Amino acid sequence: MRTVLTALQTLVLLLTTVSLHAEVPTDDENWEKAVDSDGIEVHTRNLENSRIDAFRAETVLDAPLEAVMAVMANPESCMEWVHQCSHAENLEGGSFRDRYAYSINDMPWPVSDRDYVLHITTHTGESRDHIIIEMESVDGRVGKKDGYVRMPESSTVYEFSREGENRTRIVWYQHAAPGGSLPNWLVNQLATDIPYESLRTLNDVVQKERYQGHELAFDKEGRLVDVIPPEENVTPDSEPTPDAEGG
């Protein structure tokens, strides 16, 4: 039963056919609470011209903003916390602030695996302690491959806000309209489970050692331009000095 539910939950996120190009709403109105457990809240909302609900998920992660951004900057982290993500890579020609990524989601038999190309933009919000990441599926850049079904469209917004010294609030907005024959009431019910399970996993991932010690790099306009790993944060003054015996 658990395997069946996981498969259906994955279909909710991945089989997107948004014909009306509905953007995910990020205001605070008209959301209805669907899940409130383990410090995670998931709200849903009806959208005009869509029979499928959008969701808004929120929690506070037990890690500083720098660690959370290190996870989000690493395309391979998709395989650590996103359900059924079996492959992810950045595509050439972009920057941290404006880039493209290619991912594959491993779907249970007999459903074909899904692949998709995302346009990912990252920008600073109200301050350097408020970072916004937007993801939109796009056509092209990677040719269609045998054995995979290319996902058409989806819309996602992540908002990250520093909460004290070592915690980060994440608000995750998403809207997807799945194709196929799944009934809308079932799609909307299962969609609430996906962000809940993902955020539970993400809270563990952001505490892993390899994501600690990073720094955020901003340009003169205060825009986030990169996430610097600890080995690149070493300054000349902090470099180890030769042993006295070695002269």
pTM (whole model) above 0.75 = yes
The pLDDT tens digits of the residues spanning 61-110 come to 999 999 999 999 988 899 999 877 889 999 988 888 999 999 987 776 66
pLDDT score, position 69: 97
Give me the pLDDT at residue 10, please: 47
Residues 186-203 pLDDT 10s: 556 657 877 898 999 999
Tokens of 27: 């205001």
Note down pLDDT in tens along the chain; length 247 residues: 444 444 444 444 444 333 333 466 677 678 999 999 999 999 998 877 777 788 999 999 999 999 999 999 988 899 999 877 889 999 988 888 999 999 987 776 666 788 888 999 999 999 999 999 999 988 889 998 998 878 777 788 999 999 988 999 999 998 865 434 445 665 566 578 778 989 999 999 999 999 999 999 999 999 999 999 998 765 544 444 444 444 4
Exposed e or buried b for every residue in 114-133, given b needs 16+ CB within 10 A? bbbbbbbebebeeeeebbbb
Taking the C-alpha atoms of residue 169 and residue 163, their distance in angstroms, rounded to an integer, is: 6
Q: What does the DSSP 8-state code read for residue 211?
A: G
